[in-house]
């Protein structure tokens, strides 16, 4: 496994002055980001396949152990506040359970049975999308979780930094980021972790775009949970409608804070009619506006 190799270029890392060390570590991080480039076609296929399942009501389910699990959970947990993705349509399969997000759980990643059991517990089915993340691609917990998901006819997506990894062979869509040896040998929180974060960012963002949760570059399904976000919502409605912020605020109040409905309220609909129009168009604001303009 290349992720377990030693990079001779960093053999004297502890002897370098801090500025030199940071410069070289930074270069290794940039190389990790670049490693995602060759995986873009695989990511595109994974996005399109995932959207098909999710439009039928499926869930996004992230599976992993250790650092990979923590990165995966960060990606999935941000879908609710950023895109308004329902909390009950995201799930996590974590080696060692939620406690392992903060502290290592001994031998947890070695239990393949635990990964399969968690998939059974979640009742994974054909409409679900399971993303297995493992830097090495050989983690028993994650591999068995993926095998179980595939047996249940879920869509499976594997993300690994080792080409030909077993995890990738168990996936319907294999996303391989060849990050190679780490500056600190075996510390996959670095290059492999960075590549995982980039790949998951790209995947989940494009899924949300295809699900109609982004319009004109704005996160129109954002959940405004604080004053900063409420002000952002007002600015977005004002920008999309070309109205004043005061009028945008009134429209948001009439729509009970629903940003997309507020945009349609500004076009003359009542809040209930706006929500009904959005529902007819699968929540896609662009399509709802086009349908309204046809009238």
pLDDT, tens digit, 9 for 90 and up, residues 8-50 = 999 999 999 999 999 999 999 999 999 999 999 999 999 999 9
Using 50, 70 and 90 to split pLDDT, how confident is the model at 68?
very high
pLDDT in tens, 75-93: 999 999 999 999 999 999 9
Residues 133 and 231 in one domain: no
Boundary residue ending a domain (185, 210, 235): 210
- Nearest residue to 68 (alpha-carbon basis) of 165, 145, 134, 136: 134
Q: What pLDDT is attached to residue 294?
A: 79
Would you say residue 112 lies in a domain? Answer: yes
Shared domain check, 106 and 173: yes
Share of the chain above pLDDT 90, in %: 95
How far out from the chain centre does Cα 5 lie? 28
Do 178 and 270 lie in a common domain? Answer: no
Average pLDDT over residues 71-77: 97
What is the three-class DSSP state of 213? coil
Instruction: Describe the crossing of helices 191-210 and 40-54 by its angle, rounded to 10 degrees.
Output: 40
Pairing mode, strands 129-133 and 155-160: parallel
Whether the Cβ atoms of residue 221 and residue 84 lie closer than 8 Å to each other = yes
Q: How confident is the model at residue 63 (pLDDT cuts 50, 70, 90)?
A: very high
**Phi-psi category of 201—alpha, beta or left, where left has phi over 0 and alpha has psi -120 to 50?**
alpha
pLDDT range class, residue 242, cuts 50, 70, 90 = very high
**Burial code of 46-81, b = ≥16 C-beta within 10 A, e = fewer?**
bbebbbebbeeebbbbbbbbbbbbbbbbebbeebbe
Task: Choose among 63, 62, 59: nearest CA to 50.
Answer: 59
Confidence check: pLDDT of 295 > 80: no
pLDDT at 61: 98
Confidence of residue 106 (pLDDT cuts 50, 70, 90): confident
State the average pLDDT over residues 136-164. Answer: 96
Same domain, 205 and 253: no
| For residue 249, pLDDT beyond 90 | yes
Pair 275, 166 in one domain: no
Across residues 273-278, what is the average pLDDT? 96
Residue 222 counted as domain residue = no
Instruction: Kindly compute the dihedral angle of the four CA atoms of residues 241, 248, 222, 175, in this order, to the nearest 10 degrees.
Output: 20
Identify the domain boundary among 210, 236, 263: 210
Domain end position, chosen among 148, 176, 210? 210
E-strand ranges in 83-242 read: 90-94, 129-133, 155-160, 173-176
At 89 the pLDDT is 98
- CATH number, position 262: 1.10.8.1080
Domain that holds residue 29: 2-210
Q: State how far the Cα of 69 lies from the Cα of 97, in Å rounded to an integer.
A: 10
Please tell me whether residue 113 adopts helix, strand or coil conformation: helix
Q: Could you tell me which of 228, 253, 223, 207 has the C-alpha nearest to residue 87?
A: 223
Average pLDDT over residues 157-178: 96
Q: What's the pTM? A: 0.94
pLDDT over 90 (residue 270): yes
Q: What is the CATH number of the domain that holds 6?
A: 3.40.50.10490
The number of folded domains in the chain is 2
Cβ distance 167 to 137 under 8 Å?
A: yes
Catalytically active residues, by annotation:
78, 109
Looking at the fold, whether 29 and 102 belong to one and the same domain comes out as: yes
Interatomic CA distance for residues 269 and 39, integer angstroms: 44
Q: Rounded distance, CA 277 to CA 191, Å? A: 46
- Inside any domain, residue 215: no
* Coil/strand/helix, residue 238: helix
């Amino acid at each position: 496994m290349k992720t377990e190799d030693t990079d001779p270029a960093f053999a004297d890392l502890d002897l370098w002055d801090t500025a030199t060390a940071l410069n070289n570590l930074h270069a290794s991080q940039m190389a990790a980001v670049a490693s995602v480039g060759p995986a873009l076609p695989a990511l595109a296929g994974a996005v399109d396949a995932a959207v098909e399942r999710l439009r039928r009501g499926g869930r996004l389910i992230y599976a992993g152990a250790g650092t990979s699990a923590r990165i995966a959970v960060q990606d999935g947990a941000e879908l609710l506040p950023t895109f308004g993705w329902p909390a009950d349509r995201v799930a996590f399969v974590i080696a060692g359970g939620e406690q392992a997000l903060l502290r290592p759980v001994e031998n947890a990643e070695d239990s393949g049975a635990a990964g399969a059991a968690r998939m059974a517990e979640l009742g994974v089915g054909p409409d679900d999308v399971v993303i297995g993340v493992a830097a090495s691609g050989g983690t028993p917990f994650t591999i068995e979780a993926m095998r179980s998901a595939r047996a249940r006819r879920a869509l499976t997506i594997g993300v690994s930094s080792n080409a030909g990894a077993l995890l990738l062979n168990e996936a319907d869509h294999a996303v391989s980021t060849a990050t190679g040896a780490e500056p600190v040998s075996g510390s996959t929180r670095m290059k492999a972790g960075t590549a995982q974060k980039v790949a998951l960012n790209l995947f989940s963002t494009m899924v949300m775009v295809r699900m109609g949760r982004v319009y004109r570059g704005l996160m129109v399904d954002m959940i405004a949970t604080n004053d900063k976000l409420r002000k952002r919502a007002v600015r977005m409605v004002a920008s999309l409608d070309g109205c004043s912020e005061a009028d945008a605020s009134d429209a948001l109040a009439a729509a009970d804070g629903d940003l997309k409905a507020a945009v349609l309220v500004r076009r003359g609909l009542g809040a209930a009619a706006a929500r009904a129009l959005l529902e007819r168009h699968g929540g896609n604001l662009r399509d709802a506006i086009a349908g309204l303009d046809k009238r």
